[in-house]
Every structure is written in C-alpha cells, then in structure tokens.
Amino acid sequence: MTLLNEYQVQQVEQYFKNNGIKKRPIVEDFLDHICCMIESKMESGYTFEDSLIKAFEKLSINEIKNIEFFTLKLINMETSFSSRISTLATIPFIFWGFTWFADSSGIGIPYFISMLLFILAILSMFGLFCLGWYKNFPNWSFPAIGFCALFSLFFMRITAPSISNEKLGFYAWLPFAISLFVSLMLRPSIDPLKKIIERIKNDPSLILFMFFGFSPFFISLFCDEIHSAWMIPVAIISTLILSLGLYMYLRSDKTKIKVISLIASGTLALVLTIIASHIYWKTLTL
C-alpha cells in the first residue's frame, strides 16, 4: 500500500487552505479521507499530483464548504443553547439571593414579602426537580435533586411555631413527596431514576454538583439573626459567586474545571459570608 509522506500530507493541507477551508476541525476530519483516496489512486499508477486532483474531483471543495458551513452553524447553535440553559439554571440561585437579601438586609422589607420570596425560592427548586424528572434529569437539574433531599432532611429538625412546637419530622418531606407525585403524573416512569445513576456513572462530578444545589440556603444560614444593611453586598456578591460556579460547571467539558468551579465558588462564598458575619457580631459587641 502506498503511503503519503509528511511533505505530501502538508500539500493536501495547503490545498484545503488555498481553497478557503481553514477551520481546523473540518480540515482534520477530511484530511484522512482525502489522503486515503489519493493513496488508492497512486496504487493504480497515478502520480501524487493527478491523484490529488482526482480525489478533489470526487469530493469537491464546494461539497466540503457546504459541510463546513452547516457544521459550524450547528456548533454555534449548540453553544448558544448551552449558554441559554446554563443561564436559566441559575434562576433558583438568584431567587435564594433575593430571599437572603430580604431577610438579612435590615432595610424594613415587609415580612410577607420576605416569606413570599422564601416560598418562591423553594418552589423554583422543587419545580426544577419536576422538570428534571420530565426531561430524564439532564445535568442542569441535578442541583434540584440535592436541594430537595437536603432541604427536607434539614427541616426534619425544625419546629414551626405557628403550626406546632414539635419538630416537623417526616412532615418536612411533604413538599418532596408532592413534587414526586407531580413528576410521576407528568412522566409515569422510573426511567428518570435510572438516568440519574447512568449519568453519575459517566460523570461522578455530578454528585458534587447535586449537593451544590443546597449551597445558597446553607451559606445564608451563617447570616441567621443578622438584619443589617452590612449584609446587602455580602448577599449579592455571594449569590453571584455561587451562580457563576454553577454556570461554569455547566459550560465546561472538562471534569477538572467543573470540580474546581464548584469548590472554588462554594468556598469563596462561604468564607466571605463567615467573615462578614464575624465582623458584624464583633462590631455589635463592642
């Protein structure tokens, strides 16, 4: 079998460039194919130059340009779609930011507005869980899984004075149970649960991403009982940091960058909040 030497391969690449095909992924995809066609022609007795011309007659430059156009268009559409989904997935985190702001700002926001924001923040997460179930739990829905589970566990030990002085216990799982019921009504199948396991097997970083969903609520707990304008920039900055971490995770293709995005954003937001809370209480006691 006749094989092209390095110089000949470079000539084929140059032929692509001379005809306006310069995008590296497209050149790489077609280079091997064209080289094989040339080698086959040379086996039949043609010269390299004649084989090159005949190969591009069979697969014309115009055809390759059309394929390049539609490939790049598809890539741009996928990038746009990915950016849009990544941005929308931060909405529940933004709701928690508003809740945190209203509860800790100390600027006289009415109680019913604070409670409304708190309820909306919870509903956004449980709603994302239902949507995730319906869509077979794509990656962007994993924070909702972690939030719903950890939120219910947390509130098992919380009392609701307006209802009872006893701990909520298993009643704390009622929102999760309702969400699961709604999800099964939308999609009566256990396939979404199988998809969770399948996706985690393919990408173990999703376990960390799952627990990351609870981070806005968890970090805001460090501002419990604080009602001061001092916490306004802290709530805003921490929410933006967490949202950026989530966005970077969904936009990245590399596991290492995904994990670093979550750990770095979560740690930074937590440290910022703890330091701000410490300064507030220290100042108050002076």
Per-residue pLDDT of 97-124, as tens digits, reads 888 888 777 777 787 888 888 888 899 8
| Inter-residue contact 194 to 132 (CB < 8 Å) | no
Higher-confidence residue of 78 and 156: namely 156
Q: Where are the domains of the chain?
A: 6-71, 91-285
| pLDDT band at 274; cut points 50, 70, 90 | very high
The DSSP 8-state label assigned to residue 163 in this structure reads: T
Strand duo 159-160 + 164-167: pairing: antiparallel
Average pLDDT value for residue range 211-226: 88
With 90 as the cut, is the pLDDT of residue 148 above it? yes
Question: Helix (H, G, I), strand (E, B), or coil: what is residue 21?
Answer: coil
With 70 as the cut, is the pLDDT of residue 154 above it? yes
With 50 as the cut, is the pLDDT of residue 215 above it? yes
Confidence (pLDDT) at 17: 77
With 70 as the cut, is the pLDDT of residue 186 above it? yes
| Inter-residue contact 246 to 212 (CB < 8 Å) | yes
Higher-confidence residue of 57 and 127: namely 127
The C-alpha atoms of residue 120 and residue 117 are separated, in whole angstroms, by: 5
Confidence (pLDDT) at 278: 86
Ranges 74-78, 151-155, 218-222, 259-263: which has the least confidence:
74-78
Q: What is the mean pLDDT of the chain?
A: 81
Confidence (pLDDT) at 85: 64
| pLDDT band at 146; cut points 50, 70, 90 | very high
Output the six-digit token pair for 271.
Answer: 């440290």
Output the six-digit token pair for 42.
Answer: 């040379």
Output the six-digit token pair for 227.
Answer: 């009602």
pLDDT digits 0-9 by tens, 11-64: 878 777 777 766 666 666 677 777 888 888 888 878 888 887 777 777 666 766
Confidence (pLDDT) at 68: 60
Distance of CA 277 to the CA centre of its chain: 29
Average pLDDT value for residue range 204-220: 92
| Inter-residue contact 148 to 179 (CB < 8 Å) | yes
pLDDT digits 0-9 by tens, 36-51: 888 888 888 788 888 8
| pLDDT band at 182; cut points 50, 70, 90 | very high
